[in-house]
Structure 1
Amino acid sequence: MQRPVTRIPPQGEVQHYQTYQITRRRDTTVRAVCEQVACQAWRNGWDSVIDERTELGKAQAAYIRGESRRTFRETRTGEGLTVFRFESGQRCFADHQTVPELYLVRDGDWRGNPTGRSRRHTRPQDWVEDFGENQLRLVDQQQKG
């Protein structure tokens, strides 16, 4: 059961408001980098243990050494396995997916958008900057009376 929404009664007309919203589409996923999804391998580093006695292991080790473009230290175990130790802060080998956030600004409030004007920021930093500038405008207006 969904909790009822409690709203403070608005002081002004709907056209005097602007709504800042971060939302997601439920059915859309996109490829994401490790940092976006808080990947533990990216955050902490990881070990890839490879058995080079197999064809798959030989191919994996060759890829890591020659094509992976990642920084690693290579050691051997007593059982003859190769351990590639990757430091944190670099992309892991997984394909990550995420649901992208939408950074929206529209005129009006929960009662509606009388002008129909809305915009979508492509970068979260731009949305934050827009929001901050709006807050400063409100403070200025409040101080002027």
Structure 2
Amino acid sequence: MAIEPAMPVGAYQTYEVRAPRDVQQKSACEQANCRAWRYGWESVIDESTPLGQQQAAYIRTQSGRTFREQRSDGGLTVFRFESGQRCFAEHGTRPELYLVRDGDRRGNPTGRLRQHTRPADWVEDMAESLDAVRTAQERG
């Protein structure tokens, strides 16, 4: 059972976060909450194989990442990467839409729909709107 609103539909604004279906976009490690980015990581490479030689050469000369290199007891090369830099994985996240529209569940009488590009702007917009409602309630 729905609670009927006390005011006309035009007196309301609706704030919504929506994620489009089946859409994924490439994202940076920080956006994907990547564990390697946050804490750093190790890559253990066996340079006795052609693949290992190629991987080690790429890390040393082309990766552009900061690392320390050591040899393990088993003769493998251990590359220790510092946190805060892009890892070697490709990350994907679902984009989120931060929407504000006039009206409520009954409809949008003006047809106005705004989309914020940053979550912080959406939160600020909603906080300002709620503050205006509180102020109006306090004044009676």
Same fold (TM over 0.5): yes
The AA in structure 2 aligned to 1:55 is P
Alpha-carbon separation, structure 2, partners of 1:66 and 1:45: 19
Partner of residue 8 from structure 1, selected from 3, 9, 12: 3
Matched, 1:110 2:105: yes
Q: Any idea what SS the aligned residue of 2:124 has?
A: helix
Matched, 1:97 2:98: no
Cα deviation for residue 133 of structure 1 reads 1.3
The AA in structure 1 aligned to 2:22 is D
Alpha-carbon separation, structure 1, partners of 2:44 and 2:3: 58
Q: Any idea what SS the aligned residue of 1:35 has?
A: coil
The AA in structure 1 aligned to 2:61 is G
Partner of residue 87 from structure 1, selected from 77, 82, 85: 82
Cα deviation for residue 53 of structure 1 reads 2.0
Cα deviation for residue 13 of structure 1 reads 0.8
Q: Any idea what SS the aligned residue of 1:36 has?
A: coil
Alpha-carbon separation, structure 2, partners of 1:72 and 1:84: 6
Structure 2 partner of 1:3? none
Alpha-carbon separation, structure 1, partners of 2:59 and 2:87: 11
Cα deviation for residue 105 of structure 1 reads 0.4
Structure 2 partner of 1:69? 64
Q: Which runs of 5+ in 1 are unaligned?
A: 1-5
Identity %: 61
Alpha-carbon separation, structure 1, partners of 2:123 and 2:55: 43
Partner of residue 120 from structure 2, selected from 125, 135, 144: 125
Q: Which runs of 5+ in 2 are unaligned?
A: none
Alpha-carbon separation, structure 2, partners of 1:7 and 1:97: 38
Cα deviation for residue 87 of structure 1 reads 2.2
Alpha-carbon separation, structure 2, partners of 1:73 and 1:7: 61
Q: Deviations over 1:27-67 (max 9, x none)?
A: 11100112222222122221101112222222211221222
